[in-house]
Amino acid sequence: MPLIASLDAGGADIESTWLWRVLRRFFLLVPHAIQDERPATAEKLRRACPHWKRHTHASHALARGAELLMVRDNLRHASISTTSTYLHSDEVQRARQFDQAFRQLPSGGSLTGDAS
């Protein structure tokens, strides 16, 4: 399955391995081009890798309200706990609070305590 579909009928889809190579090349070449004008940015890009873009996408999507399950599916993670590593600050606190709240449900599963 392509990562990005072609924009025209006769064009080729973009596979994840091809996109990874393009991004890797970008992160290797751009720092040299901007070193004199933007040394701090150049240094950050030298340390970057294609996975950095993936992390940024997931972190920003979750911070802007995307559902954890949707981000998990988008990243093709098998485990929701892997995706939850992209939650930051208040999202982490919120996830922990809901986890704790629902672990404390009465044995009948009702929020009111009634088993009916």
Q: Structural domain boundaries of the chain?
A: 13-48, 51-101
pLDDT reported for residue 96: 80
pLDDT digits (tens, 9 = 90+) for 19-40: 888 888 998 999 999 999 999 9
| DSSP states along the chain | --SB--SSTTSPPB-HHHHHHHHHHHHHHHHHHHTTT-HHHHHHHHH--HHHHHHHHHHHHHHTT--HHHHHHHHT-S-HHHHGGG--THHHHHHHHHHHHHHT--TT--SSS---
Q: What angle do CA 77, 82, 84 make, to 5 degrees?
A: 115
pLDDT reported for residue 100: 83
Q: pTM of the full predicted structure?
A: 0.56
Q: What is the chain's pLDDT, residue by residue, as a tens digit (116 residues)?
A: 555 666 667 777 777 788 888 888 998 999 999 999 999 999 999 998 888 888 898 999 998 889 999 999 989 899 999 999 888 877 777 788 888 888 876 666 555 555 55
Can you say whether the dihedral through the CA atoms of 12, 4, 17, 28 is positive or negative? positive
- Return the structure tokens found at 75: 């990243």
